[in-house]
Amino acid sequence: MTTRTTHAIQCICCPTSCLGEADVEDGRVVETRGLTCEVGEAYAADEVVAPKRTVTTTVRVTGGKLHLLPVVSERPVPKEAVRDCVRLLRGVEVAAPIETGRVIVADALGLGVAFRASRDISAAPPQSAQV
Amino acid sequence: MREATYDVVAIGGGPAGMAAALAAKEAGAERVLIIERDRELGGILQQCIHNGFGLTRFNEELTGPAYADRYIKMVGAAGVDAWLDCTVLAAEPGGAITCVGPSTGLTTVKAKAVVHSMGCRERTRGAIRIPGTRPAGVFTAGAAQRMVNMEGYLPGRDVVIVGSGDIGLIMARRLTLEGARVRAVFEIMPYSNGLTRNIVQCLQDFDIPLYLSHSVVAVHGHDRVTGVTVAEVDADLRVRPGTEFDMACDCVLLSIGLIPENELGKAIGIQSDRVTGGAVVDQYRQTSVPGFFAAGNVLHVHDLVDLVSEESAAAGQSAAQFARGLLPDSARQRPVSAGPGLRSVVPQRLSPAAPGRFSASFYFRASRPMGPSILTLRGDDGAVIWNRKLSKGVKPSEMIVAQIPYARFARAEALEFALAPDEAAEAELKSKREAKL
Amino acid sequence: MEDLRSPGGVPPRADVVVIGGGVVGSAIARELSRYRLSVALIEREPDVATGTSKANSGILHAGFDAEPGTWKARLNVRGARLYSEIAEGLGIPRREIGSLVVACTLTEREELEKLIVRGRQNGVVGLELWDRERVLEHEPHVSRDIEGALWAPNAAVACPFLATVAFAENAARNGVRLVTECAVTGFDIDGGRLTAVRTSRGRIETRFAVNAAGLYSAAVARLAGDDSFKISPRVGEYVVFDRSITELARSVLFPTPTKVSKGILVSPTVHGNIFIGPNAVDVDQLDHTETTSSGLEEIISGARRMVPDLPLQSAITEFAGLRASAGHDFIIGESPAMKGLVHAAGIQSPGLTSAPAIAETIAECLREAGLELKPNPSFVPVNPRRPKFAEATRSEQAALVEADPLYGRVICRCETITEAEIVAAIRAPCGARTIDGVKRRVRPGCGRCQGGFCGPRVTDILARELNIPVTAVRKEGAESYLFFARERFGDVAGERLEDGERVHA
C-alpha cells in the first residue's frame, strides 16, 4: 500500500497566485486541487517533489576594476543545495579581466551545474584608490 | 569651462537612459550622449544580482548585471557617447546642461533634446518618522544591497526588514545566504507589496516570517541598533494599543518605497504628478517643458525593467524626432486621468498622433489588489469606449500596460480610465477552484 | 583591533585642561589659546559636538527672554554681539533673519510687553511690537488667529555644530591639543587644590581645569567632591523639512514663552531647511536622545498653532536633543570643593549664543583663580576659508575642478557636496573621523535622501583617508560600527559556519 501525502502549494507562475494542494505518491504528484491552469500544474509537479532554484551570488575578484563579480547558475539547482553552492562560491577568487558568460565554477558540488559570470569586469585598480 | 553639443542627451545611464539613447540613435539622432554619475553604466541593475529580468525584452531570464551588459554593449556598438563619474548640476530649458566630473571638469552641453532618466531614491526613515534613537545599523534596503553586492560587506548580522516590497524581500534572501540572520519582515498593509514569487523564494524558502499589518514603532540602541518595538495596526494603519512587542536585532533595513529623483525637473518648473512623483507627460514622454522627456523610474516607479526599456525607447525615439523638428506640436493636448480603482496612469496627456503612429501605450497602477477585473476607458459623456479584461487579477505592485489604437478615442476630449472587479469572471474562477476540491 | 582613537593621546601636563568638546568647551579652548598657555581639550566621544551641541535649535537669541541680572541675560547679549563679529572669519554659518514671538491670545500679548521691558533691561536693541497685519505681511504662512508679535531684528540662526567645529579647529590651529575618546575618571587633589586630571587615556598634570562637560558636568563635579549642583536632562524633539519649502518662514517664529521653555518653534535653519520643535520633557538618563510618537505629535500640533499649513509629507528627518538643565541659571565660577576647577555647567538655552561670552568669562575666572594670562602673539583669530562648491559661481566651480579634480566628483547629490570638500573636512585639524562627523562638517546625509546615496561613498572615503578597513568606520559613538565582513571562506562539508568574525582585510 503506497502512502499519499498532501502538500500546500503556492503557485508563482502568474499574478493570480493560486493557492492549492498537491497529493504525492511514489515521489510523484498524482492530484492537485485549487490550481486553475496547466502552467500551475506543471510548476506544482516539480516544486512539490523536487524544488529547484536558480542561484545568484558574488565571488571575489583580484586585479579588477571592481571587487566582486556577480555569478549565476546556468540552471536551477536542487533547493537543498542552494546554501552550500553559495558557501562554495564565497571561497572562490577570480582574476580580472572577466567576460560575461565565462564559466567560473564548472560543476558546483558535483550537481552538473556551472556558474557563470553575469557581467564583464576589466582589469584595473579599483576606482576608489585614485581619482 | 568646456563645451560640447549633442542632439539628444540622456541624464542617467541606467536601463532607462541606455534604452532611450539607443532608440534616439536608431531614430536618426546623430550625436547622442549619456551622462552618468556612477563609475559605470547600468544604474541600479548592477547591484541587482538576482535574476528575473528580461523575460519579455530578451525572451530570457537574466540577472540585473547581465541585462545591463546587453544594453551597455548595444549602446557602445551604436556609437553613443557616455560620460561616467559625471554629475549633472542643472539642465535648463532650451537645452543647456551643466555637468561636472573629475576628468571632464565643469562642462556645458548644448542639447536639442534632453531625456530625464535619473531613476529614483529610497524613502527614508525620516519620511515616515519612526521614533526612537538614531544608532548605526538603520539602512535603506537599496543602500545595503549596494554594500553587500558590490562592496562585499554586511549591514548587520541580525536583521529586521521593514516593508515587503521586492527590494526588502530580495535582501532577506541575500543576507541569509551571506550568513546573516533575518528575523522578520514587517509590512504595514494587510497584503504584501512584492511578487508572490519573491514571498516564496525569499521568505518561505528560508522560514522568514512575514508579519502583515505590522509597523515598527521604535528603534532602540545607542551606538548600534539593539532592537525594535513592533505593533499591529488596524485598517486605518493606526497602532492597536497593547499589541506592541520587542524584537532584538542589530540592523533595520527599510524597504518602504521609492521616490522619483526628480529634482532637476522641479528646478526648471516641469509640471509634476502628485501621485507618481514624476513629471506629467504625453504619449511621447515629453514633459511640460518642450524638448524635455522623461522615462523610467524618474517618471513613475516601475517593477519590471523590460517595461522601463520599452517606455524609454519610446522617449528616446521621440527625443530624436524632436531634435529633428519632426515631433508634432503638443499645443493641443487632451487630459488622461486615473479614475476609480486606479492609482495612476502614465501618460497623463495625449498630444496629437504623429504620422505613422496608430496606437498609444498606457501604463497603470491599481489602487488595491483585486481579483479578475475590467479596465475601462470612458470618453467625455461617460460612455465606455474601450475595455479589457484582466482575468488574472491585479496588484498595485504590478504595473498594467494597455496599448490602445488612437481610433478608439479619436473623438473624446478627455479620457478617464477605471478599474473594477469583474464579478462574472470572479465567480467562474471560484467555481473552478471549488470543482477540484 | 587597532586603536581608532585620535592619535597622540593626552599630554603629561598642561596649563589648563578643558573638559568637554561641545560648543562651550570648544569656545573656551579657543579663548584660552589667545594666551601663552598649554591647553588640552578632552572629549569623551570620538568627535566634538556630539552632545547637546549637535541637537538644538541653532538660534542666536536676541536676549530678551532671560531674566535681567542672570548670567544667561548678560552672556546672551554679549555672545550675540561676538558672533556678529567673529562668525564669518571663523567659518560659522550665520544669518541674521530676525525673530517673532507670536501671541495667540490677549494674555500672551501682555506677556510680549513684559518681554520688551526685559529685553531693554538686558541691552537688546531694535525690539518692536507688531500688530497682526504687520506680522502676516512679513510671514504670510502664519496663522490668522494671532494678536501680534514681538519682533527682534538681531536674532539669528547659526549652525551649532559648525560653530563647535570652528571654535575647536581654531583652538587647534592656535596650539590647543584636542584628545577625543577621552573621559575624565578622576581628579588628584592636594591641600584642596587640583593637581592633575585623570582620564581614560592617561593622567594630565595641571593646576587648572574647566568643567564644560555638558550633560555630564554634575558627574564630573562629583569626581571632585563637589555636589553643589545637579543636572536634570530635559529632552527636546525636532522635525526637519526638505529645503524646497523655505517660504514657510523667513524669520524664527517663537510662541509666547512659558516658565519652562521658549516653546515649539517654526524656524529656518542657517542651511535653508525649515524645522519645528522642541518640546520639553524631563527624562532620567543622560543619553536618552529618543524621539517618541507622542513627542513628535506634540511638536507638530504646537507648530501648527503658528503655521497651520505645515507640509508633513516634506519632513525629511527627526531627532532629539538633551538640555543640561541645572535650574535657574548657568553655573559659572570656581568649584567650592576644589581650587583650580572652574565650572561652565548647566548650559541650556541660550547656551549656543552665550558660548563665546562664557569663554571670556571663564578666562577671567581662571585669571582670578591664579592663572597667568599672557597674550599669545601668534594667535590667529580666523580659520582658513574652505570653498563650498555648491555656493560657488560656475567659473569658480570650473577653477576648483581644474585645480583639484576631486571637486568634480559630486558625492552628495542632495546638497551638491564634492569629494574634495569631504576630504578637506577629514584632513583639517579637529577633522571628521566618523560618518556623522563628516555630515556635521560638510552636510552629506543632511538632505532628502538622508545618506542613502552618499553613505556608502562617504564610508569608502573615510576608510581610505583614515587608512582603516571599511568595517572599522563608525557612525558616531565609539561602538557604532556600520558594516561587517561576510563569512570569508567557503566550506562544502555542509557544516554551518560560525557567524563571520569581524575580519579586518
Q: What is the tens place of the pLDDT at every residue in A57-70?
A: 999 999 999 999 99
Contact yes or no for B321/B354 (Cβ under 8 A): yes
pLDDT reported for residue B163: 96
Sort strands B415-421 and B373-378 into parallel, antiparallel or unpaired.
antiparallel
CA distances from B50 to A70, A118, B162, C29 (A): 9, 10, 20, 55
Written as one letter, the residue type at A47 is E
Contact yes or no for C41/C18 (Cβ under 8 A): yes
pLDDT reported for residue C496: 38
Q: Which residue has the cell 528580461?
A: B54
What is the tens place of the pLDDT at every residue in C358-389? Answer: 999 999 999 999 999 999 999 999 999 999 99
CATH number of B1-123+258-327: 3.50.50.60
The answer to whether residue C61 is catalytic is yes
pLDDT reported for residue C505: 20
Q: What ipTM is given for this predicted complex?
A: 0.93
Q: Is the pTM of this model over 0.90?
A: yes
Q: Among the options C61, C288, C328, C504, which is catalytic?
A: C61
Residue A131 has pLDDT above 50, yes or no: no
DSSP state of C264: -
Per-domain boundaries in chain B: 1-123+258-327, 124-256, 332-437
Judged by a CB distance cut-off of 8 A, whether residue B137 touches chain C is yes
**Fold: same for B1-123+258-327 and B124-256:** yes
CB contact under 8 A, B392 and A100: no
Q: How far is A13 from chain C (nearest CA, A)?
A: 31
| Distant-in-sequence, close-in-space partners of B373: CB < 8 Å, separation ≥ 6 | B341, B366, B389, B390, B393, B394, B419, B420, B421, B422
Say how far apart CA C490 and CA C135 lie, in whole Å: 69
List of chain B residues whose C-beta atoms are within 8 Å of the C-beta of residue A56? 49-51, 63
pLDDT reported for residue B74: 98
Say how far apart CA C166 and CA C89 lie, in whole Å: 10
pLDDT reported for residue C2: 59
CB contact under 8 A, B151 and A67: yes
Contact yes or no for A60/A67 (Cβ under 8 A): yes
Suggest the residue from A16, A41, A86, A119 to mutate for an interface test with chain B (most B CBs closer than 10 A): A119
- In words, the CATH class of domain B124-256 is alpha beta
> Radius of gyration over alpha carbons of chain B, in Å?
23
Instruction: Answer with the residue of higher pLDDT: A99 or C285.
Output: A99
Sort strands B251-254 and B158-162 into parallel, antiparallel or unpaired.
parallel
Residue B232 has pLDDT above 60, yes or no: yes
pLDDT reported for residue C286: 87
Q: What residues of chain C score a pLDDT lower than 50?
A: 490-505
Provide the pLDDT confidence category of residue A15 given band limits of 50, 70 and 90: low
Provide the pLDDT confidence category of residue B265 given band limits of 50, 70 and 90: very high
Residues A99-117, mean pLDDT to the nearest whole number: 94
Tell me the backbone φ, ψ of residue A98, rounded to 5 degrees: -130, 140
Suggest the residue from B36, B192, B433, B434 to mutate for an interface test with chain A (most A CBs closer than 10 A): B433
pLDDT reported for residue A127: 52
Say how far apart CA C336 and CA C342 lie, in whole Å: 9
Residue of chain A whose Cα is closest to the Cα of C462: A128
Sort strands A68-73 and A115-117 into parallel, antiparallel or unpaired.
antiparallel
Residue of chain A whose Cα is closest to the Cα of C489: A91
What is the tens place of the pLDDT at every residue in B336-366? Answer: 999 999 999 999 999 988 877 889 999 999 9
Strands annotated E in C398-454: 410-412, 417-418
What is the tens place of the pLDDT at every residue in B80-96? Answer: 999 999 999 999 999 89
List of chain C residues whose C-beta atoms are within 8 Å of the C-beta of residue B124? 316-317, 448-450, 452
Say how far apart CA C76 and CA B227 lie, in whole Å: 41
CB contact under 8 A, B201 and A58: no
What is the tens place of the pLDDT at every residue in B138-188? Answer: 999 999 999 999 999 999 999 999 999 999 999 999 999 999 999 999 999
Helix axes C106-122, C71-90, angle to 10 degrees: 70
One of 2.10.25, 1.20.120, 3.30.70, 2.60.40 is the CATH number of B332-437, namely 2.60.40
Q: Which residue has the cell 524633539?
A: C237
Superfamily of domain A56-117, CATH level 4: CPE0013-like (3.10.530.10)
Say how far apart CA B113 and CA B319 lie, in whole Å: 6
Strands annotated E in B276-383: 292-294, 334-338, 342-346, 349-350, 359-366, 373-378
Per-domain boundaries in chain A: 4-50, 56-117
